[in-house]
Amino acid sequence: RNLKKYFPVKSEIFKRTVAQVKAVDDISFSVEEGETLGLVGESGCGKSTTGRTILRLLKATAGDVVFEGKRVMELDAKEMRLLRRDMQIIFQDPYASLNPRMTVADIVGEPLVIHKLVTSKEEKYSKVKEILENVGMGAEYMNRYPHEFSGGQRQRIGVARALAVDPKLIIADEPVSALDVSVQAQVINLLQDLQKEYGLTYLFIAHDLSVVKHISDRVAVMYLGKIVELTDKKELFKNPMHPYTQSLLSAIPEADPKKKKDRIILKGDVPSPVNPPSGCRFHPRCPEAFEPCPEVEPEFKEYGDGHLAACHLLNN
């Protein structure tokens, strides 16, 4: 609720704060139990920062995160440790997120030890074996090291590690972006199967809509620290309201020539979040910008049945 995460920019000489990077700037959304909310936007728009701030891996600048009625920002260290079991993260880069000096058994078993969910080595190994089988990896891999695996297998290990503590919410931060296209679908299918089996809730972060198309129930689109549109997935693909969403959709390759639409090419790159554009942050790149856009920030509000968007065009 109204979540903000600003990073100070320090002057090199005087070490004082000279500006703020407004990575996440007043966003509100909910994720329902058992659903997958896709969070989409170009790199640098604040998606990962949102995920990390929710988990308190980063300290929020303002706003609130409420998990099952508990205000996460106010929990003390002990309560937070308990909550860490319920909220897990899968990282983008399976190469960087696994300790190269640890065996698979120790990587996946570590959270079990930290959370005191096993009392002996034997118990740890038997639990790890079970979890590995659930992600499609056999027990024969237990004593191997991350470098011995392909990207897809490493991400399965990352998923196994997140699953080990029996979480409720998993924040999947671009879990397939670093993988070959042919492997992406396998990992997405695995995540979907696990969701059904364990009743998991996902916040699924991706930089393009084609990845979240299959897995999401609803999709939130972020641009420069703001959510600009949020709705049911089918509705978003059928009736995108925000020009930025429309441009993202137009970038998805379409096999059927009858459905082919012209690609909307945006001007320039994503501006810096240090001094984001005034009014609507998308206005310097928006093909439909008109006179209020550089001045007035559009309100993020509902335009029919759970379809939220922030654009002046919608009020005309």
Q: Footprint of ligand SF4 on this chain (CB under 6 A)?
A: 242-243, 280, 282-283, 286, 288-289, 293, 298, 311-313
Binding site partner of 50, from Mg ion, ligand SF4, none, Cβ cut-off 5-8 A by kind: none
Minimum Å distance from CB 249 to Mg ion?
A: 21
Binding site partner of 48, from Mg ion, ligand SF4, none, Cβ cut-off 5-8 A by kind: Mg ion
C-alpha–C-alpha distance, residues 168 and 199, integer Å:
7
Minimum Å distance from CB 228 to ligand SF4?
A: 7
Which residue's Cβ lies closest to Mg ion? 48
- Is-contact 175 155, C-beta < 8 A? yes
Minimum Å distance from CB 273 to ligand SF4?
A: 16
- Tokens representing 137 are 């990896």
**Binds Mg ion (CB under 5 A): choice among 48, 53, 201, 231:** 48
Distances (CA, A) of 119 to 109, 143, 169, 256: 12, 20, 25, 56
Q: Nearer Cβ to ligand SF4, position 167 or 240?
A: 240
Q: Nearer Cβ to ligand SF4, position 23 or 241?
A: 241
Q: Nearer Cβ to Mg ion, position 83 or 206?
A: 206
Q: If binding means CB under 5 A, how many residues of this protein chain bind Mg ion?
A: 1
Minimum Å distance from CB 227 to ligand SF4?
A: 13
Binding site partner of 311, from Mg ion, ligand SF4, none, Cβ cut-off 5-8 A by kind: ligand SF4
Binding site partner of 171, from Mg ion, ligand SF4, none, Cβ cut-off 5-8 A by kind: none
Q: How far apart are the first and last CA of the chain?
A: 28
3-state secondary structure the chain: CCEEEEEEEECCCCCCEEEEEEEEEEECCCCCCCCEEEEECCCCCCHHHHHHHHCCCCCCCECCCEECCEEHHHCCHHHHHHHHHHEEEECCCCCCCCCCCCCHHHHHHHHHHHCCCCCCHHHHHHHHHHHHHHCCCCHHHCCCCHHHCCHHHHHHHHHHHHHCCCCCEEEEECCCCCCCHHHHHHHHHHHHHHHHHHCCEEEEEECCHHHHHHHCCEEEEEECCEEEEEEEHHHHHHCCCCHHHHHHHHCCCCCCCCCCCCCCCCCCCCCCCCCCCCCCCCCCCCCCCCCCCCCCCCCCEECCCCCEECCHHHHC
Among 46-54, 135-143, 249-257, 269-277, the segment contacting Mg ion (CB under 5 A): 46-54
Minimum Å distance from CB 27 to ligand SF4?
A: 16
Q: Nearer Cβ to ligand SF4, position 149 or 282?
A: 282
Binding site partner of 280, from Mg ion, ligand SF4, none, Cβ cut-off 5-8 A by kind: ligand SF4
Minimum Å distance from CB 178 to Mg ion?
A: 11
Binding site partner of 298, from ligand SF4, Mg ion, none, Cβ cut-off 5-8 A by kind: ligand SF4
Q: Nearer Cβ to ligand SF4, position 174 or 229?
A: 229
Q: Nearer Cβ to Mg ion, position 48 or 231?
A: 48
Q: Is 50 in the site for Mg ion (CB under 5 A)?
A: no
Applying CB under 5 A, the residues found at the interface with Mg ion are: 48
